[in-house]
Amino acid sequence: MEAGSHETAHDMKFLYDALGDIGSALGKRRIWFALASEDISDQHRRTSLGPFWLLINYLVFVATFVFIMGRGEGIPNYTAYVALGLLVWFYIMETMNSGVGLFVREESFIKGTTLPLSLYVFRMTMQALMRAGYAALGCAVLLAVSGVDLSWSWLWSAAAIALIVFVTPAAIMIFAFLGAYFPDSQFIVQNLTRVGMFLTPVFWAHTSQTALSVRGIFYYWNPFTYFLEIVRVPILSGDAPLRSFALCIAISGAAWLLALFLLGRLRRQVVFML
């Protein structure tokens, strides 16, 4: 009995270590908030418009897709459809691309300080949120201009955004470990996100009920589809995509379990892989 308890405690040690690292990083939230703010400022220090270039870039992308695709195969309020799709996709894409190189970029800090590994993850999360905030301003303007009415169903979209923010640190952590242990993954992820933008229904829709067509496969079997839907559907149609919510909650839970496992098992070894 005693041996069994000891084995259980040993098996759960990685979870305690991971939660301890995260707790320590949360206690230093002023540090990663200040670092994230400094990152955004440094990236636009010598420009005239500063971080507002993030807003302009987003608006240019939306305008380009709307202009090229026209009405998007009869999608109602195509401008709002693209605006919401690009808002979520750009955030996902930045999370993946920036996350996969995170530990490599922070090599000097990781090797030279005793800061918790999660601090760098939260710093990247805050930076991604700040950048997305400028795009969200542009999205709000486009929704108003395109005639989308504010309603109580938007609360579902707010809950969806909260879920996406909740899973962001887990996703960054997974990709950060991937990039540290498999350097080639940085180029693989970058190429996949470029292609994924066209394989995910960011600016196109699948109106058929069948999942056997090529477009149906990319729609129904693409996990990113459902993260777009839980934000976009309540605003555009007023419906609550409960099935999509359930899938996204399950994916988020699995992502956090994997992130905690990697953090608990590999956080002390990652320094030797950099």
CA atoms of 194 and 191, how far apart (whole Å): 5
What pLDDT score does 33 carry? Answer: 85
Average pLDDT over residues 120-132: 92
Q: What are φ and ψ of residue 47, in 5° steps?
A: -100, 160
Q: What pLDDT, in 10s, does the model give residues 200-210?
A: 988 888 766 56
Looking at residue 65, what is its pLDDT? 83
- Cβ-Cβ contacts under 8 Å for 43 (sequence gap 6 or more): 51
Tokens representing 37?
């703010």
How much is the pLDDT for 209?
A: 55
For residue 96, pLDDT over 60 is answered with yes
Tokens 């477009």 locate to: 215
Instruction: Kindly state the tokens that stand for 59.
Output: 């608006």
pLDDT reading at 124 higher than 90: yes
DSSP letter, residue 100: H
Would you call 113 helix, strand, or coil by DSSP? coil
> In which band, very low, low, confident or very high, does the pLDDT at 193 lie, cut at 50, 70 and 90?
very high
Question: Rounded to whole angstroms, how far apart are CA atoms 9 and 198?
Answer: 46
Mean of pLDDT values over 178-206: 89
Number of Cβ atoms within 10 Å of the Cβ of 41? 11
Q: What is the pTM of this model?
A: 0.89
What are the counts of helices (DSSP H) followed by strands (DSSP E) for the chain? Answer: 12, 0
H or E element that contains 99: helix 78-100
pLDDT at 73: 66
Percentage, residues of the chain above pLDDT 90:
46
Dist CA 215 CA 197 (whole Å): 14
Tens digit of pLDDT for each residue in 101-114? 999 888 888 888 78
Read off the pLDDT of residues 16-43 as tens digits, 9 standing for 90 and up: 888 888 998 888 888 888 888 888 877 7
Question: Mean pLDDT score of the chain, rounded to an integer?
Answer: 86
- The segment with the largest mean pLDDT, out of 5-14, 175-184, 261-270, is 175-184
